[in-house]
Amino acid sequence: NAHNGFWLRNTSGTLSSFTVSGSTFNDVNDTTGANAFLFEGSGTSTMTSGSISGSTFANNTPQRALTVQGHETATVGTLTVSGNTFVDNGVHASFEQDTSANLTFRFINNGSVATPMTGSILQAVNVFSSSQATGGTITGTISGNRIGNPAVAGSAGGAGGISGVIQGQTDATLLVDGNIIRQTSGDARGIGFAFRGAAPPLATTLPANNV
């Protein structure tokens, strides 16, 4: 595909359920591509629940495999991503929030002993909120995933196994538990999160007596 393999942008109303299973999202264009699979909740939309399972995301380097985003005042309800195969992507899975959207996800039991998540150029799993977010939430679980082949150096990811940047005025609640991560590249961390707060113009300067 020249750009996105699959793209859904919900701008209003309620999507009560969303299910993807047994599918293949491969070979996004190396130069013009963006995401093998992109889900965007935007505007005033709500997704009640969704799932992506038993699917394969492969050979999308250097682009992203799975990207889930919450924009404006949207609510992306519990999206469960489980039992999928991720091999040779720029980023295997990224969960992102901005403005005052609410995003809830469960990334669980992806990769296996036989086929762990391997070959990401950047992070294998990424969580991100915008520095200009004015509120909203990210609630996520990353659990039971196998990232990296213990016999192959650098196979877990060039920029880390599981990582995130929470900033702006986003309220994040994250559970990272029971993952097996082997062979990150260079000095990349297996798990790393940064919590940075708001950037200008949202950031404020406190009076000297309050510092």
DSSP string for 56-125: EEES-TTSEEEEEEE-TT-EEEEEEEES-EEES-SEEEEEEE-TT-EEEEEEES-S-SSS-BB--SS-SE
**What SS3 state is found at 210?**
helix
Please state whether the peptide bond connecting residue 200 to the residue before it is cis, i.e. omega within 30 degrees of 0.
no
Residue 56 pLDDT greater than 50, yes or no:
yes
Half-sphere exposure of 187 (CA within 13 A, CB side): 0
Looking at residue 208, what is its pLDDT? 42
Whether 101 and 71 have beta carbons less than 8 Å apart is answered as yes
**If pLDDT is split at 50, 70 and 90, which confidence band does 197 have?**
confident
Looking at residue 179, what is its pLDDT? 97
Looking at residue 185, what is its pLDDT? 84
